Structure 1
């Protein structure tokens, strides 16, 4: 069943903002995201590295934290003001949703919570400001990532996840459904005016499938692939380059030293006007995933980063995606 967006939400989300990962070798992960992906290192401590894209004035959009296990710690969203954090506390208390106020370096008021399908999240209303690097062309490295754009989460219950987030003001721009129905297998939702800030797809969850940065153009994707190969990470190109049917973006997926997945992509179209309606894709239509090119591999479909302390649940809907291995007849 298609959700209905709440245009008078209890607090105002503005965009996908930041992600925190636990990594087992902090220096190796820093080098990967700086040299292979091309992010800017804002700050380093003994136990954390803060990075950002070249356009970003916020202190960080990626936090790497030293840990014994590789985990997806949190995905983060910005809200408009401090009052929205307070309003979120009130709303979550009213619906019985687990949440807590925390102090985070370089962030304003921050509230952490789990959504109804177990995704680990936080919202904040502000961050320390740092200089943008968008015109420091001499410092552009590899894919030259500009800004964090979105997350994709694997969930066992796409409908429940979609209903929750559209209830908080997100609009669904595109979706995949069982052929001939509106039974949700994947939902692409936005608050900032392009096709998605948050995506839920059907599978064993909750797990973070990937987080994504925009890049300037197609040549940036190819250069990132070349740099990955030159630095010994060619085998960690997880998918692409290619073009998605959903969102119409050119893409490249990479795996970091702990196998967290990051996407570089050429951004997507606007989805601002309220009369616009979501684009529907049959789950059997391969062009939803790749308008051209080879299908994704088994590891792209079935591997993702777990949230700490969260058990995995069997998906409510079952399907076997067409993988690259099956396409090539590899067993």
Structure 2
């Protein structure tokens, strides 16, 4: 059912590392991520802001870039373990005819820009400058006290092929979503917890969301309260709730440009190779799983485009049970 994983991949990706987003109003976006999410500013210029979580020593996990065009996701960043892994990655991507080039990025060591088979924009580096971890500076905490970046979720027009691509790079599945023999969602990891990269079949490539871990679950409600106080109450896009896959408590928020961020508590370890991925049946799984209502159509289909990427449609349009469908079904049953 799932593609074969290369447990000795050609280069060693260690974790989801950082994301680069283009925004229309840099100050407004900076305030959102500091005051509501609780990130710390590492450095900033008139056109760029570098932020990190409270427990992160690496210089940045979120980069906001001022743009005059339509907001987009520039890159998803992954760390590799050693500099030599970057050379192996360059050889691997170019050997398959995929884009790969060396670039200079502030506060990072050698950096490689590359793309997967559908044009998802990736950025690999082995090192960043280091800053003080702030997780014990309680008097400076703001927002939801976001600790560290955890994972990305992307759209791909063919989930199985995208899963196969990342399986060649050593990504393993903790869980997956399927309907019969059709793979619809892959929840993949490198760092030893259940998620670094989620892939869902839909029009892509697009970035559906990126996620930060919070230290205590009640801070999910703090984020919602602060969103309301700062005028973003309508941007609470889904939740609070509990996932089926992964089992985390969560909330999804839309930033001022519509980029989606998830705040969630921690999840389980996935280090041991004998543990098999958990299969979820799309025919019986609802997004509310055990309690609550399904997600809206907007949550299922809205996503940030990758800058300068050409999207492709899947062979069959996804047809999840949305909140709108659920309400219509309940209304029909009531009328009958």
State the 1:288 CA deviation: 5.8
Instruction: Give the 3 Å change call, closer, same or farther, for CA 290–37 of structure 1 in structure 2.
Output: farther
Q: In structure 1, what is the equivalent of residue 13 of structure 2?
A: 13
Q: Is the 8 A contact 2:189 2:197 kept in 1?
A: yes
CA distance in 2, matches of 1:291, 1:61: 32
Other-structure match for 1:278: 277
Structure 2 counterparts to residues 60-71 of structure 1, below 5 A = 60-68=60-68, 69-71=70-72
> Distance in 2 between the 1:147 and 1:233 partners?
23
Matched with 1:136 is: 137
- What's the CA shift for 1:285? 2.6
Residues 225-282 of structure 1 deviation map (CA, whole Å, 9 limit, x = unaligned): 1111111111000000000000000000000010000000002111111000000011
Q: Is this contact kept in 2: 1:242–1:290, CA < 8 A?
A: no
Aligned residue for 2:31, secondary structure, equals helix
Distance 1:274 1:322 in 2: 33
Change (3 A) 1:289 1:310: farther
Q: How many residues align?
A: 329
The equivalent of 1:104 in structure 2 is 105
CA distance in structure 2 between the aligned counterparts of 1:317 and 1:85, rounded to whole angstroms: 36
Q: Distance in 1 between matches of 2:288 and 2:19?
A: 24
Preserved CA contact (<8 Å) 1:156 1:204: yes
Aligned 1:201-216 pairs, distance under 5 A = 201-216=200-215
Q: Do the aligned residues in 1 keep the contact of 2:287 with 2:294 (CA within 8 Å)?
A: no
Which residue matches 1:327? Answer: 326
The question of 1:147 aligning with 2:148 is answered yes
Residues in 1 aligned to 2:327 and 2:77: alpha-carbon distance in whole angstroms:
38
Q: 1:164 to 1:239 in 2, by over 3 A?
A: same
User: CA offsets, 1:181-215, max 9 Å, x none?
Assistant: 23210000001111110010011111000000000
How far, CA to CA, are the matches of 1:78 and 1:65 in structure 2?
20
Q: Distance in 2 between matches of 1:282 and 1:168?
A: 26
- Residue 170 (1) aligns with residue 180 (2): no
What's 1:265 paired with?
264
* Offset of residue 327 of structure 1: 1.8
Alpha-carbon separation, structure 1, partners of 2:212 and 2:116:
23
Unaligned runs of at least 5 residues, structure 1: none
Q: Is the 8 A contact 1:149 1:213 kept in 2?
A: yes
Q: Which residue of 2 aligns with 1:254?
A: 253
Q: Deviations over 1:289-331 (max 9, x none)?
A: 6432111111101100001122221113333111112222399
1:59–1:130 CA contact under 8 A, matched in 2: yes
Equivalent in the alignment of 2:90:
89
Kept in 1: contact 2:210–2:261 (CA 8 A):
yes
1:118 Cα deviation (Å)? 1.5
Please tell me whether residue 33 in structure 1 is matched to residue 33 in structure 2: yes
CA distance in 2, matches of 1:275, 1:57: 32
- In structure 2, the CA distance between the partners of 1:284 and 1:48, relative to structure 1 (3 Å rule), is same
- Taking only aligned residues, the RMSD between alpha carbons, in angstroms, comes to 1.4
Question: Which position in structure 1 is the counterpart of 2:187?
Answer: 188
Match for residue 334 of structure 2?
none
Tell me how far apart the structure 1 counterparts of residues 289 and 258 of structure 2 sit (CA, whole Å).
22
Matched, 1:114 2:115: yes
